[in-house]
Structure 1
Amino acid sequence: MAETLFEELKRYVGFEPADGQRLLALHEVMQPRFAAIADVFYARILEHPQASQALAGESQVGHLKVTLQAWMEQLLRGPWDENYFLLRCRIGRMHVRIALPQHYMFGAMSVLRQELNRFLDEHQDWRTEDLRASRVALQKILDLELAIMLHTYREDLLAQQARHERLSTFGQLVGTIGHELRNPLGVIETSLFILKGRPLAGEERAAKHLTRIGEQVTLANRIISDLLDMIRDKPLKRESLRLDAVWTDALTSVHVPPGMSLSASGLDTLPTLRGDPGQMRQVFVNLLENAIQAVGETGRVVLSASSGPDAVELVLEDSGPGVSEPIRRRMFEPLMTTKARGIGLGLPLVKRILERHDGSIHYAPREGGGARFILRLSIPPDCR
């Protein structure tokens, strides 16, 4: 059987079973220091504005400290197997997603090395040879961590660049075709207007077909508009933005089946933001339409909202089937869809609009089944 990448990396740095035993012994004495190390780690990060901004500022630090302690727990306890490798790969992908520059990865690992080594320097209960062997084992596992993160970061960054290149080509094609299609659609709309203004002598079927043609022309125009919105920098209207009002407005454009439960909470407690109400309305409409299609005639869609010191968070959940693991990594790419009728523009457009509002969106599986989308929007300093 071919050697896996993780096995190759462990062989390269000389990580052996004896190193694992030394790390387990380190865990027993180091665990009480994990909280203090996490405090030092994030205090250092908050000193650097770019790194702090990538990690969502101080509002998420409490949660991230707990996550870091869990990371150190697994670092020293293992098991150092393929599942360990896959879990660490997700960290590198997360760094790409939040646009954290690579040099901060090196800096962060340096801080952890310093703090963990400082503990070893202060530990006087071990013999010199045991202390030296434990220090070597610690350096090996930290080197492995960094190698995994950099490998995954590079892979995802290259994939992201390839997607951007495809989108650039896609954008040029869409821009040309979209504008060309507007002309014949405009002629069809004009002809429909004229035909509808003439008596059809009781031709009910003819009137029905004219209505159907009009509906399809509207749908075609909407697809073209969505495509063009994906490739152009539509100017934002920076004005007062009340998300509760935008949500209420969006509901008027969405058909909710009688047997489906739709509820929202916390929106009226959110601060006033700055942004484009029209584009944010499109965010809600697209997400709601996806959720309703996933749930079907009966089910539940719930929106909950909360506010932190520098950002608001919206969580939209539904009781549908959720999104499979293979689809999740590509769900925000244009033209990626699992629907029989659809071209995969809804979620990419949502992501683009939120990013232009200094926000973000990501998917998280819902406990017990179903989909969960988490949206974050920054609160401008003058609105806090």
Structure 2
Amino acid sequence: MAETLFEELKRYVGFGAEDEQSLRSLHEVAREEFPAIAEVFYDRILEHEGARSALAGESQVGHLKVTLRAWMEQLLRGPWDEDYYLLRCRIGRMHVRIALPQHYMFGAMNVLRQEFNRLIDERYNCQMEQLRAARVALGKILDLELAIMLHTYREDLLAQQARNERLATFGQLVGSIGHELRNPLGVIETSLFILKGRPMASDERATKHLGRIGEQVALANRIVTDLLDMIRDRPLKHEPLRLDEVWKDALTSVHTPAGVSIRAEGLEALPTLQGDPGQMRQVFVNLLENAVQAVGETGTVMLTASTGPDAVELVLEDSGPGVSDTIRRRIFEPLMTTKARGIGLGLPLVKRILERHGGSISYAPREGRGARFVLRLPSHPSSR
């Protein structure tokens, strides 16, 4: 069997059974210090404006400290297998998603290296052989951590650059085709209006087909509008934004089968934000239409809202089949769809609108069946 990348990296740095044993022994004396190390780690980050901004400020630090303690637990206890490698790869990819510069990653790892070496010096003060072995093992595992993160960082960054290039080409094509389609669609609409006023419109069969033509023209116009919205920067309106009112307005535009229940909790308690009500309405409409189509004729769609120190969080869940692993990583890419009649613009447009408001959206699988989308919007006005 071919050697995996992780096995190659371990062989390259000479990480073996003795190092594993040294790290497990270090874990026994260091685990009580994990909370204190996490405090030092994030205090250092919060002192640096650039790093603080990349990690979303102080509001996320409480959660991140818990995550760091779990990271240190696995760092020293293992097992250092392929599952360990895959978990560390996800961390590298997260750094790409939040646009964390690589030099912050090196600086952060140096903070941990200093704290662990200080702890090794204190606990193995009179045990020079164990001290040396612990320092060597620690150096190897932290070097492996950096190698894994840099490898996945590079892979994802290159993939992201390729996507951006495709989007730029896509934008140029859409802009040209979209504007060209407006003219024939306008002519069809005008002709349809004239035909509806003629005597033939009294024929039931003709009226039915004229109605179908009108529906399809409206659908084509909406597709063109969505395509153009993906490539142009419509100025954001900075108005008082009540998400409960926007949600209620969006519900009126979504056809819901009798067997589908749509509920919302916590929206009325949200503070008044600043943003563009029209574009936020489009966010809700797109997400609701996807959720309703996913659950079919019977099911539930649930929106839960909560408020944090500097942001509000909306969680939209449905009881549909969810999103497969193969689709999940590309779910917000334009033209990516699993629908028979969709063209894959709804979620990319949602992501674009939220990011222009200074917010974000992510997909978080539910236990069992269903999809879960997590939306975050800043409580303070966005300048974008």
The answer to whether 1:207 aligns with 2:212 is no
What are the residue-to-residue correspondences of 1:162-311 with 2, within 5 Å? Answer: 162-200=162-200, 202-311=202-311
Partner of 1:350: 350
How far did 1:112 drift? 0.7
How far did 1:2 drift? 1.6
Q: Secondary structure at the match of 1:274?
A: strand
The one-character-per-residue Cα deviations of 1:286-309 (angstroms, maximum 9, x if unpaired) are 011111111111111110011111
- Judge which range, 27-36 or 39-48, deviates more: 39-48
What are the residue-to-residue correspondences of 1:1-384 with 2, within 5 Å? Answer: 1-124=1-124, 127-200=127-200, 202-380=202-380
User: 2:332·2:351 contact (CA, 8 Å) conserved in 1?
Assistant: yes
User: 2:201·2:207 contact (CA, 8 Å) conserved in 1?
Assistant: no
Which residue identity does 1:352 align to in structure 2? R
How far did 1:202 drift? 4.1
1:290 and 1:193 mapped to 2: Cα distance? 32
Change (3 A) 1:212 1:69: same
1:57 and 1:317 mapped to 2: Cα distance? 27
Q: Secondary structure at the match of 1:171?
A: helix
2:176 and 2:280 mapped to 1: Cα distance? 27
1:301 and 1:321 mapped to 2: Cα distance? 12
Q: Secondary structure at the match of 2:253?
A: coil
How far did 1:172 drift? 0.5
Q: Work out the number of aligned pairs and report it.
A: 382
Which residue identity does 2:183 align to in structure 1? N
Which residue identity does 1:66 align to in structure 2? V
How far did 1:125 drift? 5.9
The two structures have a TM-score, normalised by structure 2, of 0.97
2:201 and 2:189 mapped to 1: Cα distance? 22
Which residue identity does 1:354 align to in structure 2? L
Which residue identity does 2:291 align to in structure 1? A
The two structures have a TM-score, normalised by structure 1, of 0.97
Which residue identity does 1:26 align to in structure 2? L
1:68 and 1:199 mapped to 2: Cα distance? 74
How far did 1:187 drift? 0.2
Which residue identity does 1:101 align to in structure 2? P
Gaps spanning 5+ residues in structure 2: where? none
User: 2:124·2:130 contact (CA, 8 Å) conserved in 1?
Assistant: no
User: 2:304·2:314 contact (CA, 8 Å) conserved in 1?
Assistant: yes
1:276 and 1:3 mapped to 2: Cα distance? 53
Q: Secondary structure at the match of 1:369?
A: coil
2:134 and 2:202 mapped to 1: Cα distance? 91
Q: Secondary structure at the match of 1:267?
A: coil
Q: Secondary structure at the match of 1:373?
A: strand
Q: CA RMSD for the aligned pairs? A: 1.2
User: 2:29·2:123 contact (CA, 8 Å) conserved in 1?
Assistant: no
Which residue identity does 2:107 align to in structure 1? G
The one-character-per-residue Cα deviations of 1:232-277 (angstroms, maximum 9, x if unpaired) are 1111111111111111111110111111111101111111111110
Which residue identity does 1:254 align to in structure 2? V
Give me the identity figure in percent: 80
2:286 and 2:127 mapped to 1: Cα distance? 63
Q: Secondary structure at the match of 2:315?
A: strand
1:245 and 1:323 mapped to 2: Cα distance? 29
User: 2:195·2:201 contact (CA, 8 Å) conserved in 1?
Assistant: no
1:21 and 1:295 mapped to 2: Cα distance? 51
Which residue identity does 1:356 align to in structure 2? R
How far did 1:381 drift? 6.8
1:152 and 1:299 mapped to 2: Cα distance? 38
1:298 and 1:206 mapped to 2: Cα distance? 34
